[in-house]
Structure 1
Amino acid sequence: MATNSPRAMVLCSHPGRLLNYSVLLNRLEFYHLSLCLNLDEVRKALAAKQRYSLFIHDDFVPGASALMSLKALSQSNAFRQFVLVGNFSAEEKSGLFQWAWTHRVPLLEVLDKPISLAQLREVTGSMVLYQSEDECPIDASVREIRDYQVPGDRHCDSALR
């Protein structure tokens, strides 16, 4: 198992689909996964203060509440990039990208269901990966992160310079 594999969190209300995401993401070398059925489980997982490369929200339905939750997750600084999966029209996709740009939410892709391994491979292949992001604390300021260093590990410090 790769020790520097990216972390991913998946939010989906269907347990069977969560297992499918687990298989797909493992095939794409995402070995650190958090699979959540609801936002309460997302909050509990975030209590561990891990940083994630990717957040996948399956069955995303655009609306004021869902967009506010997405914005709050983005502002938590726990996720680098987001993928939304659902049934979207071309106008909805365009609107979601526009909204994300305006609210500084790093939206990587908006996909229609069902998704395939090929689609997920293409999306994850376009991700911006950060070296050693898992070792850096997520609730520290930039100054604290620059000063923080695991003994014998220069990754956190060098990743920010």
Structure 2
Amino acid sequence: MQTPILKNDWRILLVEDHPFQLMATQCLLENFGFTQLTATDSAAGAVQKMLGARQPFDILLCDQCLPDLPGLELIQFASHRGMIRQAILLSSLTALELDGLEQQASEHRLPLLGCLTKPLKQSDFRDLLTLARA
């Protein structure tokens, strides 16, 4: 078992449509020290979780290639309604495609910290969380 990299009370909403990736990422986040983790396998499920939440999620960590709505559109929907504070896209797209998504997020002033490739790497995740603290 890894030593947790962070111990905090951030509320994270994880959205991943592939069951194995969802379970693996959830386990990694728990090993990183996150205890307030909510997971779902679709954008529709994420919207339900956000609507039922008493306060905005600190971080929306979602797959870009969800079958019911692209991750960036989910971020836009959630941020415009005050349902999230910040977001991270998780994807297996190419670096060029991820750069394009980051540019789109910037143009629309979305609270995207960045894009991470699958599988989630501890050092990359930690680097983005440093931005979230700033």
Q: Above 0.5 in TM-score?
A: yes
Q: Does 1:122 align with 2:127?
A: yes
Q: Which has the larger displacement, 21-30 or 92-101?
A: 21-30
Amino acid across the alignment from 1:88:
L
Q: Give % identity.
A: 26
Richer in strand (by share)? 2
Match of 2:75 in 1: 70
Q: Max radius of gyration: which structure? A: 1
Match of 2:91 in 1: 86
Query: What is the TM-score when the length of structure 2 is the normalising length?
Result: 0.78
Amino acid across the alignment from 2:65:
V
* Aligned with residue 30 of structure 2, among 26, 32, 35: 26
CA RMSD, aligned part only? 2.3
Match of 2:61 in 1: 56
Point out where structure 2 has 5 or more consecutive residues left out of the alignment.
Answer: 1-6
Amino acid across the alignment from 2:109:
R
CA contact (8 A) 1:87 1:113 kept: yes
Distance 1:88 1:4 in 2: 30
- Deviation of 1:34 (Å): 0.8
Query: What is the TM-score when the length of structure 1 is the normalising length?
Result: 0.66
Question: Deviation digits for residues 51-98 of structure 1, max 9, x if unmatched?
Answer: 21111112x139xx5243331122121211111111233332222121
How many matched pairs? 124
Match of 2:105 in 1: 100
CA contact (8 A) 2:116 2:125 kept: no
Question: Deviation digits for residues 16-75 of structure 1, max 9, x if unmatched?
Answer: 2222222221222221111011122112211223321111112x139xx52433311221
CA contact (8 A) 1:28 1:121 kept: no
Distance 1:110 1:13 in 2: 17
1:132-151 matches, within 5 Å, as none
Match of 2:9 in 1: 5
The secondary structure found in structure 2 opposite 1:49 is: coil
The secondary structure found in structure 2 opposite 1:6 is: strand
